[in-house]
Chain A
Amino acid sequence: MEYKLTTPVTPADLAPLRAGDTVLLSGTVYTARDAAHKRMMELLDAGKELPFPVEGSALYYVGPTPERPGQVIGSAGPTTSGRMDAYSPRLLDLGQAIMIGKGARNQAVKDAVVRNGAVYLAALGGAGALMAESVEELEVICWEDLGCEAVRRLEVKNFPLTVILDAHGGDLYQSGPAAYLESLK
């Protein structure tokens, strides 16, 4: 199935999604990788606000290449999400609804996805030029000192994504290869 979604989203918006579905995502997406996640945790530990409204938000794990003059964004494919596993459950419990990256997540993240009615979506790893095509606006909103790891606000249109973890415990990284191997029998 293919779904069109616009951020911010609610658990009701995400409930129909199943592992293997395609999502064309529009609206605001925030970028954060390892260093930005670490700083977000420090803000939360100090009782401070996050740099963006977390309820129903989408976070994209990406460190784009620098944009050329006249370009909105450089190449912008996903980084490996597993490095954010230590931080994601806390953000999901605060209302973050969509994680975008690539690669496997641990059990704590899978549990937090189900607990909160969230989803984990894959962007195409290694397809930085293609993923950049859907980005219409970019603004660095904080921690500019982190360079490619600074938090950016992106406005995206029909950003092509694949559902990996759905709110019902589905995991495409398990079910996809299993279904293919089953088809050979």
Chain B
Amino acid sequence: MRTVTAAAITDAVAELCIRANTQLPPDVAAALDRRRQEEPWPLARQTLDLLWDNVELAQSRCVPICQDTGMACIFVELGQEVHIEGNFEDAIHEGVRRGYGEGYLRKSIVGDPLRRVNTEDNTPAAITVRIVPGDGFKLTVAPKGFGSENMSRLGMLKPADGVEGVKKFVVETARLAGPNPCPPIILGIGVGGSFDKVAALAKHALLRPLDVPNPDPFYAALEAELLEEINALGIGPQGFGGQTTCLGLAIEAAPTHVAGLPVAVNVSCHVTRRASAEL
């Protein structure tokens, strides 16, 4: 049994909130850089160059890459042999409160969806915990902006719709999103499970680095095919037209019911942020 203290969790969450919002993950930065160099359409190339300048500026000045510093989505892989000293969830919320305060990040959370009063400290965080074997403790902070979140979709397809139905739904989601989610976009795609599970799969898929394909060759091929189809839409960076509409996408699949084929697409942007630490 290993002990992790609430204070250590709070410190790590605060630091990760600031790091995630000011430094793009290496795989996302590499994809943006590569696509910008390959972009043939002049206005699109010029736009991608400016997005690249923005990433460099944010990192060098330690300022947020995007003003929508997001809802603090926090993923914990908790080893079953770890004992937590203190209140686990409170420790995470306190880390968000501190990180968003000390980092001069924007507070974008309202305490109630209909009465809409800002909580002023970006809490509560959206916490997802997975219990895993061993005594590890891995924290990932993935701040999520809502310009792209608002363009996400979920569909309960029929088994007869099959792989073609899933492809059509995903491409249609990118087309409907158009210029709104700040393309070039990144997609997290869930297939299978249940109504709630499929959305969680889509969100979780956004955590996978863009240079890591699905380990199942069937889904890896589907990822490559969908990426090509979306980039053939011509939406381009910021929706101004061009080759680069999507930087990458990841599919996560799960067992489902004989009667169903749930699919969910979590839309994210060229500022897809995540930062991790092991405690």
Interface residues of A (CB under 8 A from B): 20, 62-68, 71, 74-77, 79-80, 82, 102-104, 122, 124-130, 132-133, 147-148, 160, 162, 172-173, 175-181, 183
Chain B residues near A130: list those with CB within 8 A. Answer: 50, 53-54, 57
For residue B182, CB closer than 8 A to chain A, the reply is yes
User: Would you mind naming 28 contact pairs between A and B with Cβ atoms under 8 Å apart?
Assistant: A62-B67, A63-B106, A63-B108, A65-B104, A65-B105, A75-B66, A80-B150, A102-B238, A103-B178, A103-B179, A104-B178, A104-B239, A124-B50, A126-B65, A126-B182, A128-B67, A129-B65, A147-B107, A148-B106, A148-B108, A162-B47, A176-B241, A177-B236, A178-B234, A180-B41, A180-B242, A180-B243, A181-B234
Secondary structure dominating the interface of B: loop
48-87 of chain B: CB within 8 A of chain A: 50-51, 53-54, 57-58, 61, 63-69
Cβ–Cβ contact B269 & A68, under 8 A = no
Chain B residues near A66: list those with CB within 8 A. Answer: 104-106
Shortest distance from the beta carbon of A134 to any chain B beta carbon, whole Å: 12
- Pick the residue among B104, B240, B243 that contacts A74 (CB under 8 A): B104
Cβ–Cβ contact B57 & A82, under 8 A = no
The 3 tightest CB contacts between A and B, nearest first, are: A176-B241, A125-B182, A127-B54
Docked Cα-Cα span, A112 to B233, in Å, equals 29
The number of residue pairs between A and B whose CB atoms lie closer than 8 Å in the complex comes to 154
Sorting the interface of chain B by its residue count into under 10, 10 to 19, 20 to 34 or 35 or more gives 35 or more
Cβ–Cβ contact A126 & B242, under 8 A = no
Chain B residues near A76: list those with CB within 8 A. Answer: 67
Cβ–Cβ contact A65 & B182, under 8 A = no
